[in-house]
Every structure is written in C-alpha cells, then in structure tokens.
C-alpha cells in the first residue's frame, strides 16, 4: 500500500497550506471512515465546480483556486487523503464533450476536443476499493440544475452531468461508489498510482492555439456560465 500513500509533485500534501487545512479541519484526528467522508464532502461542496487553467496542477494550487473540475478535484482529494494516511489511486478515462454542453457554449463547445480527459479517485478502505466521482459538482450547483430541469426524469446529459437519474444521483459516500459523470465515459485508460503518472501518458490533446484560447478566454466563459447556473439564472 505504500505506493498509494506517496507524496508527488502534484500530490504535495506536505505543503504548508495543505497541512494547515488538515489541522484546522481536524481531518487527521478522525477515524478512517470519517477521514474519507469529511474530506470527500469538503472537496465536493467547499471546492466549487469550475474550470482551472489546466489539469496538471499541484494540489496546493488547486486549493488556492477554491474551485475545480474532475481532474483537479481528484488531485486535491488524493492529496488530502494521502496526507491523513488513506491509500488512494486515480482511474483515468475520456468522456464525451456532450456532457459539458451548457457549461460550454458557442465557439468554446464547438472547438473543444470530442474526447475530454477525465478521472475519478479510488479509495482503499477495509480491504475494498471504492470508486468516487460524485465530488465533482458542488451540491449548490447541482440543486440549481435540478430546479432548472425539474421535469427531467431518467438520463441527463449536459452542464457537467452524465447520470441515469438527475433527481437522485449517487453523490453521497457511505461505503458505496459515487458517480456524476460516469455515463459519459467513452474510453478507459485504467488505474494509475498517481495523477503525475496518469497525465504523463494522457494529457489533454489540443493545439497550441486552442490551449491558449482555453486558458485565456474559454475557461472564463465556462466559469461565468457555471456561476449563472449556481445563481439560478
């Protein structure tokens, strides 16, 4: 299990800001079940859903941003878990960009890669691996989506969601797997010991121009759309 506890460049859990968070929240003083549960809830709801400048960011930088998407929230979640002695690994995929429609609009959506690099975290607890993906969207954002699409029953695709049941997605952890984008998965890369290993092999493929436009324009438009939804607009 030692390799699932290692600190890496991205999982920089000895960084002062990470240590301060662990100490101030008392994560390290909880039993293992509640370590996982409380850290999961923190990453889901206090790190708001939003789009960072890139996927390959150190956990401390993601924490400073205060928001994240699947890959960046996964990095922070893993760093906090390893920082309190909980073994974890990353599972990599691609998802269909259709599930981002609504958060992505206009030229941003049209110019985005069809297959978007995606990940979730697998956590080892009492001899079992749990697949945890339901931390990607904060509850406030998700509740506003439910209100916006209150007549939706069954499968829902869009606005950062790909689930069989928008009204009752499995996003709370209580010794179960959690999912919120899994129905959009179209390619499985398997499990990796760390996000560093994963992104070395599966970095999002974009031209230099598209990468520049995403970093400087596209993600800001996407974050504006997300904020409008969270406000019920």
Q: Whole-model pTM? A: 0.96
pLDDT at 215: 85
- Asked whether the CA dihedral 14, 20, 24, 25 is positive or negative, the reply is negative
Q: Using one digit for the tens of pLDDT, what is the confidence trace for 82-101?
A: 999 999 999 999 999 999 99
So what's the pLDDT on residue 16? 97
Extents of the domains making up the chain: 2-230
Radius of gyration of the chain (CA): 17
Contact in structure between 152 and 142 (CB atoms under 8 Å): no
| The predicted structure's pLDDT at residue 231 | 86
Place of tokens 């269909």: 96
Cα torsion angle, 57, 60, 66, 72, sign: positive
pLDDT of residue 227: 93
Which class does domain 2-230 fall in?
Answer: alpha beta
| pLDDT exceeds 80 at position 233 | no
* End-to-end Cα distance, the chain: 46
**Looking at per-residue confidence, does 30 or 208 come out higher?**
30
C-alpha distance from residue 78 to each of 94, 97, 218 (Å): 19, 25, 27
Burial 109-125 (b: 16+ CB within 10 A, else e): beebeeebbbbbbbbbb
Give 101-159 pLDDT, tens digit per residue.
Answer: 998 888 788 888 889 999 999 999 999 999 999 999 999 999 999 999 999 888 999 99
pLDDT digits (tens, 9 = 90+) for 163-217: 999 999 999 999 999 999 999 999 999 999 999 999 999 988 878 888 888 889 8
Average the pLDDT over 42-68 and give the result.
97
């Amino acid at each position: 299990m030692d390799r699932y506890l290692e600190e890496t460049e991205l999982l920089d859990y000895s960084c002062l800001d990470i240590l301060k968070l662990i100490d101030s929240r008392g994560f390290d003083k909880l039993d293992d079940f509640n370590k996982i549960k409380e850290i999961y809830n923190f990453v889901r709801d206090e790190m708001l859903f939003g789009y960072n400048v890139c996927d390959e960011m150190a956990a401390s930088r993601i924490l400073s941003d205060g928001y994240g998407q699947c890959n960046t929230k996964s990095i922070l979640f893993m760093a906090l878990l390893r920082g309190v002695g909980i073994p974890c690994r990353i599972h990599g995929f691609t998802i269909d960009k259709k599930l981002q429609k609504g958060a992505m609009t206009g030229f941003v959506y049209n110019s985005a890669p069809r297959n978007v690099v995606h990940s979730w975290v697998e956590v080892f607890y009492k001899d079992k691996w749990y697949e945890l993906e339901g931390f990607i969207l904060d509850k406030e954002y998700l509740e506003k989506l439910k209100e916006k699409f209150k007549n939706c029953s069954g499968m829902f695709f869009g606005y950062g969601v790909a689930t069989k049941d928008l009204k009752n997605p499995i996003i709370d952890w209580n010794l179960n797997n959690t999912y919120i984008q899994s129905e959009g998965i179209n390619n499985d890369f398997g499990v990796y010991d760390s996000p560093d290993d994963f992104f070395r092999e599966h970095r999002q493929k974009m031209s230099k121009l598209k990468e520049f436009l995403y970093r400087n324009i596209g993600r800001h438009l996407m974050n504006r759309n997300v904020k409008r939804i969270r406000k019920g607009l």
